[in-house]
Structure 1
Amino acid sequence: MTEAVLYDYWRSSAAYRVRIALHLKGIAYRTVPLDLVEGDQRGSDYLARNPQGLVPALEIDGHFLTQSLAIIDHLDARHKAPPMVPADPAERSAVLAKALVIAADIHPINNLRVLNYLRGTLGLDDEAVGTWYRHWIAEGFTALEQGAPDCGLFGGAEPDLVDVCLVPQMTNARRFDMPLDMFPRLVRIDAALRLLPAYVAAAPEAAKPSAAKP
């Protein structure tokens, strides 16, 4: 099998999810960094392969894959351990529902292009943008907190897809000064996950190119 290639931005939470999944499953890869702030993702060569111009993208098994959850689904189909979703249909649906609270409800309206639109086109200042950001995190985290286990991870003994999505979103929450006192279960799970080697290896500080801006 040829080496997997991840088109990555170190601060992208969607790319962070894929890095976590790759490390959990022990899949070797090399990174092609794209600086979203500098607009690398709008280059003609990349757009020819990924017309959305978003990260992450993963070149693996002769395929060029986009969208983080679709990429993780491919990895899960090809590399079973550890499983990202249960085999039981009802349990699988429940895990997907929780993961999508982050990947479909919180993240898409808080990503860089949306924040740039709020600042640029709509003329909102940083305080207003921060208020927007924290509002949508609070809505999603409130629901996740209610569905979080009292002990262990969302996936039990091993991380599942919810755990893969949670840590990048918690990272974003802290970046935007989101108070987390109301979400003690999420804070506990996040702290436990960050100690795992796969999460340490996938963290933004590990993925950040040496020349990248802070």
Structure 2
Amino acid sequence: MMTLYGYFRSSTSYRTRIAMNLKQLDYDYIAVNLAKDEQLEAVFQSINPQGLVPVVQINDLWLYQSPAILEWLEEVYPEHPLLPKDAAGRMQVRALSAMIGCDIHPLNNRRILQYLRNELSVDEDQVMAWCHRWMSEGFDALEKRLAQDKTRGKFCYGDSPTFADCYLIPQVSSAERFKVDLSAYPNIVAIDAHCRTLKAFADADPMVQPDAPNA
């Protein structure tokens, strides 16, 4: 049995939940309340000194960093693949994932926003402007890349969900939470709408997690 340490609103936990659901894996869930800084307490620091979620435990094996976790899942559980069979396709999916996971998400991560608020005394309007700037810039490029691919179906790549969709849907959720105008991104919005109709994505939604408010 796997155990996933995560937080309902964490985008990295969200993408990991999606991948595990798509691969139809059973797992226990242990919530780490980032809003109460439980990730900084000694108990969790002994699990992951970096103080980040998600962490996945399988017996005495501990997995860290969602990109590495998704790659591990793909290698160990090849059924319901989340990467294309061909090298060019795998490159495309990894590139789309990196556009989100490396160039959009980190800049609106809670740690960054808390630093802006608490250490640099940036007011909330400026924090929101920061989020809008980097999310919009990233979505601009991603939308163009998706529009260029005339062969894809209802997902980021091809006709089935991949890593890229695992990354995209949590980022759209964050954008909605920060009230980013998504009207300029019809491909992104369509992919998000379609994915949310699938059980694996719906079951991973932050608001249906055990640690979500009113869950």
Q: Using structure 2 for the length normalisation, give the TM-score.
A: 0.93
Q: How do 1:77-92 and structure 2 match up within 5 A?
A: 77-92=75-90
Q: CA deviation at 1:89?
A: 2.1
Residue matched to 2:201: 199
Deviation sequence 1:30-51 (CA, Å, 0-9, x none): 1110100101111112112211
Of 189-198 and 75-84, deviating more is 75-84
Is this contact kept in 1: 2:7–2:211, CA < 8 A?
no
Deviation sequence 1:31-87 (CA, Å, 0-9, x none): 110100101111112112211000000012641001111111111111113222223
Q: Distance in 1 between matches of 2:190 and 2:129?
A: 25
- Alignment of 1:35 with 2:28, yes or no, is no
Deviation sequence 1:84-131 (CA, Å, 0-9, x none): 222322221121111011111111111001000001111111110001
Residue matched to 1:122: 120
- Alignment of 1:186 with 2:184, yes or no, is no
Q: Distance in 1 between matches of 2:6 and 2:53?
A: 6
Q: Distance in 1 between matches of 2:75 and 2:125?
A: 43
Of 72-81 and 24-33, deviating more is 72-81
SS at match of 1:105: coil
SS at match of 1:31: strand
Residue type of the partner of 1:88? Answer: D
SS at match of 1:30: strand
Q: How do 1:39-188 and structure 2 match up within 5 A?
A: 39-60=37-58, 62-148=60-146, 149=149, 151-188=153-190
Q: Distance in 1 between matches of 2:20 and 2:132?
A: 29
SS at match of 1:64: strand
Q: CA deviation at 1:155?
A: 3.1
CA RMSD for the aligned pairs? 1.6
Q: Distance in 1 between matches of 2:142 and 2:106?
A: 17
Residue type of the partner of 1:11? Answer: R
Is there any run of 5+ residues in structure 2 with no aligned partner, and where?
none
The count of aligned residue pairs is: 211
Is this contact kept in 2: 1:82–1:158, CA < 8 A?
no
Q: CA deviation at 1:213?
A: 8.0
Q: Distance in 2 between matches of 1:118 and 1:89?
A: 40
Q: Distance in 2 between matches of 1:88 and 1:156?
A: 12
Is there any run of 5+ residues in structure 1 with no aligned partner, and where?
none
Q: CA deviation at 1:25?
A: 0.3
Kindly tell me: are residues 107 and 94 of structure 1, through their superposed partners in 2, closer, same or farther at Cα, counting changes over 3 Å?
Answer: same
SS at match of 2:102: helix
Of 187-196 and 81-90, deviating more is 81-90
Q: Distance in 1 between matches of 2:157 and 2:94?
A: 12
